[in-house]
Amino acid sequence: MSSKSSVKQGTIHHCDYLIIGSGAAGLMAAHRLAAHGQVCLVNKVDVTDSNTWQAQGGIAGAIVDKHDSIAAHIEDTVQAGAGLCHEDVVREIVASGHQIIDELLTLGTPFDQENGKLHLTREGGHAYRRIAHVQDSTGKAIGETLFKHVHEHPHVRCFRRHMVVDLITSQKLGIHQQNNRCLGAYILSPQGDVFTIAAKHVILATGGAGKVYRYTSNPHAATGDGIAMAWRAGCPVMNLEFMQFHPTCLYNPNGSTTLLTEALRGEGAYLVDKRNRRFAFDYDKRGELAPRDIVARAIDHEIKKSGDDCMYLDVQHLGKEKILSQFPNIHRRLLSIGIDMCEQHVPVVPAAHYMCGGVQTTVAGETNIDCLFVIGESACTGLHGANRLASNSLLECLVMADRCVALICQTDVSFANVSIPAWDSSGVVPEQERVQIKQNWDEIRAIMSNYVGIVRSSERLRRARRRLVLIHEEIASYYWQHPLSRSLLELRNLALLAELMIRSAQQRHESRGLHYTTDYPNLSKTAKDTILLPQGDNL
């Protein structure tokens, strides 16, 4: 896999497949497509800075035996999704779980074994143990395995630390006599030059948007870039009001947040308040193993009720041997900041974790734009409904990549006979200061955390949307007047995601799954997806 350190402004590169994003979905697609043509893989940071590498728990895939079954996995997924799951999608993805895990094993993923068989763990919402894992760093192990098969492949060219400015479509170029087609993308190099990659097919696999909130388990790169780019290109988005908050992230106001995998509770960890009282059963008969939205709201309610900064996860009773063998990386991270989980309670708060909505697609990642596919967390297939079942995310990423590649390889597409203009940077002037970018970034995250968090109200949503209007105006003015930078592009995308999430939340007049509003606390009789349609050119 090659990468050049510098690409000249205005140059154009051609490839068969342009893949934007290098998490599990993007890497699996690159691995498969490299056998069929030239691949350009673009990621704005290092390959390890993705939600895949952060994923601790595992990948769900029913091992059919006397206890578990595909039907049981489907039932658990649908129940967690609170009436919004598309059951045909659930069936297709869940039924592929065992095949995907087998393929990962064949590729060399070192899943934990016990007595010669996969060691399976259990997480909230699952009726059985069906989570294949690699200790507490499953995503990292899967990412490393896939990357090994992509690394230095002669048909893969990697553009690391390059940021996609925007997609190029036929309609954006003023061609309206045929279906809108994606032609490629404008790319910003680390040196600040903008060049073009033209491709027969473009795959967005850019992950989620957790950084739209103040507290998140996501890496800094999770700024919703793919969803924002697809919206500006003309793709509908679906169910963006459903942001899953992971119940147990380390409360560490003076440092970075660490996710504490749900597998800890699956193995028997307790949630307690500062008086050591277990409270989860006050909210659901399943206690700590209730679906994530219920557990997150329980913790949020206890924090608000008590006025405390956090609640606590008690792992001590699992024993040091089990903790060190099954959760060594979490133990090591916590120990580095002075918390020994073998002997102490761990302070936790809910944090933005997983975007259940996204660009409206099929399981194969098809969008309403020819030759544009969106896979993984950026997509919304209907699998998760109103709430994701734990460890279904890596499964969805890999199944979507599998189906996407199969569909692309069935279609015979040539390069569009279109002249793509170079990026026009005329009229821009150097920045005098960058404090506006930081200020707008901080404002967006504060607005979303305070008004569009775990519990919402109509008034909070109205206030949030009003405040974003001014921020949008400031960003638009700055964007067209000054040179492009990664921080400016991320801010632009983040602001758009925030607006779309608020608009989606305003359309849902009920409380369902991850969307809980005090003005509409009950379920509607009819379950409907929230779909927003772009109007014209959303540049």
Specify the residue for token string 């002037």: 429
pTM: 0.89
Residues β-bridged to residue 245: 352
Contact 212, 516 (CB under 8 A): no
Helix (H, G, I), strand (E, B) or coil at 17: strand
Q: Look at residue 79 and tell me whether its pLDDT is greater than 50.
A: yes
Using alpha carbons, select from 173, 94, 213 the residue that is nearest to residue 502: 213
Torsion of CA 8, 11, 14, 15, to 10 degrees: 30
Range in 247-256, 310-319, 379-388, 401-410 the model is least confident about: 247-256
pLDDT of residue 489: 96
Domain 247-353 -> CATH class:
alpha beta
Contact 164, 225 (CB under 8 A): yes
Q: What is the pLDDT of residues 370-407, one digit of tens each?
A: 999 999 999 999 999 999 998 999 999 999 999 999 99
Query: Which H or E element spans position 243?
Result: strand 243-250
Question: Residue 426 — pLDDT band, cuts 50, 70, 90?
Answer: confident
Helix (H, G, I), strand (E, B) or coil at 277: coil
Right CATH number for 12-241+356-410 from 3.90.228.20, 3.50.50.60, 1.20.1430.10, 3.40.50.2300? 3.50.50.60
Q: Look at residue 316 and tell me whether its pLDDT is greater than 50.
A: yes
Catalytic residue ranges: 292
Q: What percent of the chain has pLDDT over 90?
A: 73
pLDDT of residue 121: 86
pLDDT of residue 6: 56
What DSSP string runs through 402-433? HHHHHHHHH------S--PPPP--TT----S-
pLDDT of residue 56: 79
Right CATH number for 435-518 from 3.30.70.20, 1.20.58.100, 3.40.50.620, 3.40.50.720? 1.20.58.100
Q: What is the pLDDT of residues 3-38, one digit of tens each?
A: 444 577 879 999 999 999 999 999 999 999 999 999
Q: Alpha-carbon distance 318 to 308, whole Å?
A: 26
Residue extents of the structural domains in the chain: 12-241+356-410, 247-353, 435-518
Q: Alpha-carbon distance 52 to 59, whole Å?
A: 11
